[in-house]
Structure 1
Amino acid sequence: MTINETLARYSDWSFESAFAIYALATVLLIARYASMRARAVQDRELVAAGASGGPVDTAELVPGRVVEKPDKTWSEKLGGMGYALLVVGAVLHIASIVLRGFATERFPLGNMYEFVTMACAAAIVAGLVALRKTADLWVFMLVPVLILMFLAATVLYADAAPVVPALRSFWLPIHVTIISVSSGIFLVSGVASILFLFRMKFPAGEEGDGPFGKVAQRLPNAETLDRLAYKSTIVAFPLFGAGIILGAIWAEAAWGRFWGWDPKETVSFIAWVIYAAYLHARATSGWRDTKAAWINVAGFVAMLFNLFIINMVVSGLHSYAGLT
């Protein structure tokens, strides 16, 4: 198997370009977030306007009268530019994965660099779908993505090369793709639960909370954040479970047993149980507030532990590939 160095170089450039565009989008979205007025103030103004009848422009009610829409605010313009950059970055991000695959003539999930790249791309795509109505969350979603991409490009980077013989199996694109995609969606869920806890800690409208209160007041309400975390987990949980089952089938074909309590298998199972507990707690009366959210955060921490500590510190049957 030969490596196409040109395509590998284009893949790296696409990845680096996507990182730079995400970073620029983050700057624009932070500026937008900072220029927003607190949601509590907006809500109070809307309620007051509705209660008093509000300043209604009767010209808008005249048939045939064309009313010009007001110019967009700087906040809206910054948000539009940031979102457009996210789409461009996502295209380049996916292109880097595809080019890596063509360069190596295999599915591009043979090491931790490629896995993290795929998981981050899944998180961005999931965010483009899930955050359409809650675009303010992109500021907080992009920070962990940028951190992971930075680690992938530095600490975890691996040159384009063939995989070891044990990974030359049709199970590689099936098992690892499902795990990486579900991991990316779990990132959306984990960030949403962390912001939910933050919002509950600093509820909008309270005085004396300092800068943290000001940040919290610009977030969507707690119910929206909790619902986003729950819906994201509902999508990712069965995918992750299917990935574990398919991994067990691959293990039987490769190692002659379905399950051997390898460190990677054990922590993956623990993470799956934690997320199952979160879904159960979220549906149980009395646990739908911060208790369930803390369980979801614990699941997210278990996923990160499985990705970094198990792969890089603990040795096991999965260590040779740096795979998740």
Structure 2
Amino acid sequence: MFVYALAFLAHLAEWVFGGRSRIAVQSAALVAEGAEGGDTGAADQKAQQVTVKTAGGGTVTLERPAVVTRASASDRGIADGPGAAGEDEQGDMYGRIAVSFTVLAWLLHAAGVVFRAASVQRAPWGNMYEFSTTFGAVAVGTYLLLLVLRKNVRWIGLFLTTSVLLDLGLATSVLYTNSEQLVPALHSYWLWIHVSCAIISGAIFYLAAVGTLLFLFRDHYEVAVTAGRASNGRWGDIMRRLPSAASLDKFAYRMNALVFPLWTFTIIAGAIWAQAAWGRYWGWDPKETWAFITWVAYACYLHARATAGWKGRKAAYLALIAFACFLFNYYGVNIFVSGKHSYAGV
């Protein structure tokens, strides 16, 4: 947690001091340029001239405006903010330090998960403490993997380290459980399969939720830019450093779509395990019910993205509702609701 705190401070410095460097001026110019392009739209496109023959054998030249296409409902032609990608000198220095600390913290974090597994001689996710620590390690590992693949995701770093610190703080202070063996029903290879898939799904759902939440802020900012009401203060500097609303929207959608099949398999694997442990595939246990509700919510989100009327903010709200269902399925059901999964409680 100490090393994660150092990474958090470095990411914070990247956003604060990076915004004061020349990148603030450059990104502001990019946003202004994009806003002008978004305001004019098809009116600024050169007309296309088409020559056709008339019935009398002559010709006539017709003009029609060029068709302007957008990748999504949130695409206003505004460029991504370059700051969060590490393209400014001062901010990039702090960003590299932050990523280095994040890598070191993740190595220590992953080692802690491995040592827990060694101490209990089983999969290290048999209770809420173990699930929380493993969940954080997978989320950070996914973020670092995206960086290795050269994806423009360094903007997640500040929010990720903040949430991981909260997650580990809650795990060690409230959810901590001594190393011990589990009830007989959990002694199965399905513990490795079912719960690991749930952890991976949740970690990627979380990264998508961060992108969705930032999309709402950036989209609101871009609306203000196109209307000539953009802020030039600290808030404006932060918003200019983010990717465009269209990029954030695309990132969140792709992450949710990528992991949705895995979440589907998680529910199926849980049903198979339930048959082996309790003699039935489905019994409407609270954990099973909320896992299914979460699946339905994400299925509705993905379906909504495929329809013309549910782009942009409407779909984003639905994605956040789906992630809230996932959080309640983990924290709410485990802590406040009794059921067959209660043995995996605090």
TM-score, normalised to structure 1, is 0.82
- Supply the AA of the counterpart residue of 1:306: N
Counterpart of 2:130, as a letter, is E
Task: Choose 283-292 or 127-136, whichever is displaced more.
Answer: 127-136
Aligned to 1:265: 288
Query: Pick from 108, 129, 138: which aligns with 1:92?
Result: 108
Tell me: CA distance 1:48–1:270, structure 2 relative to 1, closer, same or farther (3 Å).
closer
Distance in 1 (CA, whole Å) between partners of 2:197 and 2:203 is 10
Post-superposition offset of 1:41: 3.7
Quote the residue 1:246 is aligned against: 269
Equivalent residues, number: 284
Which residue among 166, 169, 194 is the counterpart of 2:185? 166
Match of 1:104 in 2: 120
Q: Which residue of 1 aligns with 2:333?
A: 310
Asked if the contact 1:274/1:299 (under 8 Å) is kept, the reply is: yes
Residues 91-112 of structure 1: CA deviation (Å, up to 9, x unaligned)? 1111111111111111111100
Please say which of residues 197-206 and 257-266 is displaced more in the overlay. 197-206
Pair 1:322-2:345 in alignment:
yes
Given that residues 118 and 181 in structure 1 are in contact (C-alpha distance below 8 angstroms), is that contact kept between their aligned partners in structure 2?
no
Q: 1:260 to 1:266 in 2, by over 3 A?
A: same
CA gap 1:48/1:166 in 2 versus in 1, 3 angstroms = closer
Q: Return closer, same or farther for 1:196/1:162 CA change in 2, 3 Å cut-off.
A: same
Whichever residue aligns with residue 3 of structure 2, its letter is I
Q: Which structure has the larger Rg over C-alpha atoms?
A: 2
Structure 2: runs of 5+ lacking an equivalent: 34-87
Shift of 1:158: 0.7
- Post-superposition shift, 1:207? 3.1
- Is 2:176 aligned against 1:157? yes
Structure 2 equivalent of residue 81 of structure 1: 97
RMSD over aligned CA atoms reads 2.3
Q: Map Cα deviations across residues 17-40 of structure 1 (whole Å, 9 max, x no partner).
A: xx2211110110011011223877
> 1:115 & 1:186 partners in 2: Cα distance?
15
| Aligned partner of residue 157 in structure 1, secondary structure | coil
Residue identity matched to 1:181: I
Cα shift at 1:252: 0.7
Is the 1:97–1:117 contact (alpha carbons within 8 Å) kept by the matching residues of 2? yes
Task: Specify the code of the residue in structure 1 equivalent to 2:194.
Answer: H
The aligned amino acid for 2:174 is: V
Cα distance, 1:211 vs structure 2: 4.8
1:42 aligns with 2:26: yes
For 1:105 and 1:41, locate their aligned partners in 2 and report how far apart those are by CA, in whole Å. Answer: 56
Q: Does the C-alpha gap of structure 1 residues 293 and 47 become closer, same or farther in structure 2, counting only changes over 3 Å? A: closer
User: Which of 169, 186, 192 is matched with 2:205 structurally?
Assistant: 186
SS in 2 for 1:267: helix
How far did residue 48 of structure 1 move? 10
1:136 deviates by: 2.0
Segments of 5+ residues of structure 1 without an aligned counterpart are 1-18, 50-71
Whole-Å separation in 2 of the counterparts to 1:48 and 1:254: 61
Q: CA deviation at 1:202?
A: 2.1
**2:27, 2:240 within 8 Å by CA — same for their partners in 1?**
no
Please say if residues 90 and 121 of structure 1, whose CA atoms lie closer than 8 Å, have aligned partners that are also in contact.
yes
Q: 1:213 to 1:46 in 2, by over 3 A?
A: closer
AA of the residue aligned to 2:16: A
- Which residue is equivalent to 2:159? 140
What TM-score results when the alignment is normalised by the length of structure 2? 0.77
CA distance in 2, matches of 1:46, 1:101: 50
1:307 offset after TM fit, Å?
1.0
- Distance in 1, matches of 2:106 and 2:330, equals 22
Q: Which amino acid aligns with 2:120?
A: T
Paired amino acid for 2:261: P
The Cα shift of 1:85 comes to: 1.1
State the AA in 2 paired with 1:272.
W
Q: Identify the match of residue 196 of structure 1 among 198, 207, 215.
A: 215
Asked if the contact 2:18–2:92 (Cα under 8 Å) also holds between the matched residues in 1, the reply is: no
Deviates more, 1:229-238 or 1:256-265: 229-238
Distance 2:320 2:122 in 1: 34
Percent identical? 43
